[in-house]
Structure 1
Amino acid sequence: MRVLLTTWGSRGDVEPLVGLAVALRGLGAEARVCAPPDEEFVALLARAGVELVPLGPAVRSVVAGTRPPTVEDAFRLARELVATRFETLTAAAEGCDALLATGLMPAGARDVAERLGIHYVLACFHTLGLPSRHFPPGRRPGRQSPREETDNRVLWEQDAQRVNALYGEALNGQRAAVGLPPVDNVRDHVLTDRPWLAADPTLCPARGMTDLDVVQTGAWILPDERPLPAALEAFLAAGAPPVYVGLGSMAAHVSKDIARVAIEASRARGRRVVLARGWAGLAPIDDAEDCLVVGEVNQQALFRRVAAVVHHGGAGTTTTAGRAGAPQVVVPRIADQPYWAARVSELGIGAAHDGPTPTLDSLSAALATALTPETRARTSAVAAAIRPDGATVAAKLLLDEVRNPPPRRPTSPRA
């Protein structure tokens, strides 16, 4: 059996698909991944022995320029991704039995599957993009809802309109070109009425969060057996566990002052620092020996040996730190990051920083919470509850659904 997996987004969108591809391979299926051609993603898939089919522009070329992306950039990217999905996925899905899509609104993926007559699944790594009576939608580029509007039902309807404005014309133009009828609601068409949630239920419970029939598989974790670099091993052995500070691949426009604040806040708590350079290009603030800068390393191994993890609040980093039993300080900026920060605080496994711009005092206070014995004990308990087999669960389910597809409500064509 052959499966095509596709995404466009940060490492937190790509690595889970590689974990799923490896799990599918373990069950005898052939899986390939369509993903952005960033160098680190190419290396990631090569390390796992998974075929990469380049999809769209490199993420770093979009988010790590001299300025943050504008609304106009978002609309241009939306059109580009729809077109490239129709072209690239159609070729890559030849001979495949299923297509699973995730990442930035994968408009075009379901349509390719529909055209080819193969099984389609939409997966997500949190519930925030799923329509809900319990919370409003997140922000998207386009016309924003009035501030006085508080009815979640209305807000989600307006969210659907924003998705249509971003993707509708391009998607329906491509559908018409291959003989498919237009769709009215692009968002709900992409999501389907039965999306998958690739997140651990301890960290991200799905029950009651949406009216959709969500299938929660658990997080898709790619095992990492790489040794830590020799310099990092020596640094860890030279003293008490340090604080890890990393802001992820989407943090290209954070203030470089975050490095100074994080290092000084850690020092104020008597801790050394492992500073991840990342796309933000973080660097040490002096020549002191209590700070080591690292590139991309095995976080699964490293997080088991640190005192706390200060990060941006991506789903992948939150899950990795949670599994490792490492207390967390989340400094959220965009998208799902405030949600993960809130969950870390609610679970008692760390602290949620109030806002994206920490000061020495605010980050030091958050670290004080994360470094208590009580937080450490709670993180150990939560770590024991996080399941490691989500990718295998999803792989088995996907293969079962290809053989016996579940019923779906059809998409309503435009009147």
Structure 2
Amino acid sequence: MRVLFSTYGSRGSVEPIVGLAVRLRELGAQVRVCAPPDEEFAELLARAGVESVPAGDPVRPLVTSVTPGSAAGLARRVADLMAAQFETVAAAAEGCDVLVATGPLPATAGARSVADKLGVHYVHASHQQVLLPSPHRRPPARRGQPLPDGAIDNRALWASDAEIAHSMFGAELNTQRAAFGLPPVDSVRDYAFTERPWLASDPVLDPWLTPADVAAVQTGAWLRPDERPLPAELVDFLEAGAPPVYVGFGSMPAPAGFARAAIEAVRARGRRVVVSRGWSELDLIDDRDDCFLVGEVNQQALFARVAAVVHHGSAGTTTTATRAGVPQVVVPRGADQPYWAGRVAGLAIGAAHDDAADPTVDSLSAALGTALTPAARARATAVAGTIRTDGTTVAARLLFDSVGR
């Protein structure tokens, strides 16, 4: 079986793909991944021994330069993202049996178009359910396109979301499809998602409720064991005192002054701090010996040795922290992050910071007061024991079955 993945996004979009790609290769499949050309993604795929094909523009400059929620320059980015599917991904998909697509709607709609043109089996996969139509919650607003005022029925809102999505992306998609020899589609969102999208998330942390408007197939999160040792200097720091608090914002832009507020809040709780530099280039605020700065590191190993994890609330970091059994403080800024913050608070495995307010020393200290309690630690330990670790195996078997049929 020959499988092509198409993904576009930050580290949280690429990492799960690597996990499934490695599992498929172990089972005898041939795998290649079309991913953004950022150097760290190429290194990640190379370390895993997975063939990669650069597709689209680098993600890091986009994430760190575009205001969250802004629609400025969106039309150009959409056109470029779709073009990468019709050009680079289409060339890589020649001779493949399956094309698995994740990422923003322009990318996945383009990927399905490629699959249809080549007669390749197509799967849409999402690492969280926030964007999948469901009567159990409202759709999130799209960039520059608010939902209708006064509407309260969730199904009506999801119908509006489909119309909004098509108004944003339909003309460009159908223009590129026409050049590719394909007929137009009348709903970009529904076309890209299909009637049976995959939900690659844990059913305890991210339960898919039925009935729903799509028959989502929940595989479990696509996790890959990380065997890398922690740096010796970090190990020395961890062993020099009580477990510290981890602070990081991953590949998201952090709020102004976040590092200072977080470090001072942790200190106010009598704890040491491990700060992750990330794409926000977080840094230490002084030279005191109670703080340690890390770059790229094995989060699975590190989270198992800290007292709490303060983070932005991506699907990947939330899942890694939950699996490690460590309490969390989620500081959401947009996209699916408020959802994950709500899940952490709802499961009583940590605290959710108000997504409408900038974090301060006092607000972060209050959230840490919840996360650092024995009750939160006990609950986090209990929930960790329920997290499935077979998501890549489940997904791989589904792919083999689909090709067999």
Range of TM-score over shorter length: over 0.9
Which amino acid in 1 is paired with 2:164? R
Deviation of 1:175 after TM superposition, in Å, equals 1.5
**What is residue 371 of structure 1 aligned with on the other side?**
372
Secondary structure at the aligned position of 2:310 is classed as strand
Deviations 1:112-153 (A, max 9, x none): 000000100000011111112221111212432233222222
**What is residue 343 of structure 2 aligned with on the other side?**
343
Partner of residue 122 from structure 2, selected from 99, 111, 120: 120
Aligned 8 A contact 1:228 1:302 in 2:
yes
**What is residue 243 of structure 1 aligned with on the other side?**
245
Identity %: 63
Please state if 1:399 is matched with 2:400.
yes
The answer to which of 297-306 and 199-208 deviates more is 199-208
d(CA) in 2 for partners of 1:135, 1:29:
38
**What is residue 275 of structure 2 aligned with on the other side?**
275
Which amino acid in 2 is paired with 1:140? R
d(CA) in 1 for partners of 2:49, 2:326:
29
Aligned 8 A contact 1:195 1:213 in 2:
yes
Aligned 8 A contact 2:252 2:312 in 1:
no
**What is residue 359 of structure 1 aligned with on the other side?**
360
The answer to which of 68-77 and 325-334 deviates more is 68-77
**After TM superposition, which residue ranges in structure 1, 4 or more long, deviate above 4 angstroms?**
66-69
d(CA) in 2 for partners of 1:126, 1:334:
14
d(CA) in 2 for partners of 1:36, 1:164:
25
Deviation of 1:165 after TM superposition, in Å, equals 2.4
d(CA) in 2 for partners of 1:36, 1:139:
25
Deviation of 1:92 after TM superposition, in Å, equals 0.4
d(CA) in 2 for partners of 1:72, 1:284:
33
**What is residue 326 of structure 2 aligned with on the other side?**
326
Deviation of 1:179 after TM superposition, in Å, equals 2.1
Deviation of 1:78 after TM superposition, in Å, equals 1.1
**What is residue 182 of structure 1 aligned with on the other side?**
184
**What is residue 101 of structure 2 aligned with on the other side?**
101
Which amino acid in 2 is paired with 1:172? N
Secondary structure at the aligned position of 1:378 is classed as helix
**What is residue 22 of structure 1 aligned with on the other side?**
22
d(CA) in 2 for partners of 1:155, 1:99:
30
Please state if 1:81 is matched with 2:81.
yes
Aligned 8 A contact 2:136 2:209 in 1:
no
Which amino acid in 2 is paired with 1:16? P
Give the TM-score normalised by the residue count of structure 1.
0.94
d(CA) in 2 for partners of 1:103, 1:368:
35
d(CA) in 2 for partners of 1:184, 1:140:
18
- 1:140-155 counterparts in 2 under 5 A? 140-155=142-157
d(CA) in 2 for partners of 1:209, 1:375:
32
Deviation of 1:68 after TM superposition, in Å, equals 5.6
The answer to which of 47-56 and 354-363 deviates more is 354-363
**What is residue 208 of structure 1 aligned with on the other side?**
210
Deviation of 1:379 after TM superposition, in Å, equals 0.7
Deviation of 1:231 after TM superposition, in Å, equals 1.3
Which amino acid in 2 is paired with 1:270? G
**What is residue 410 of structure 1 aligned with on the other side?**
none
Deviation of 1:345 after TM superposition, in Å, equals 0.6
Unmatched 5+ stretches in structure 1 = 405-415
Which amino acid in 2 is paired with 1:325? G
Q: CA RMSD in A?
A: 1.3
Give the TM-score normalised by the residue count of structure 2.
0.97
* Number of residue equivalences: 402
d(CA) in 2 for partners of 1:10, 1:22:
19
Secondary structure at the aligned position of 2:23 is classed as helix
d(CA) in 1 for partners of 2:182, 2:66:
40
**What is residue 412 of structure 1 aligned with on the other side?**
none
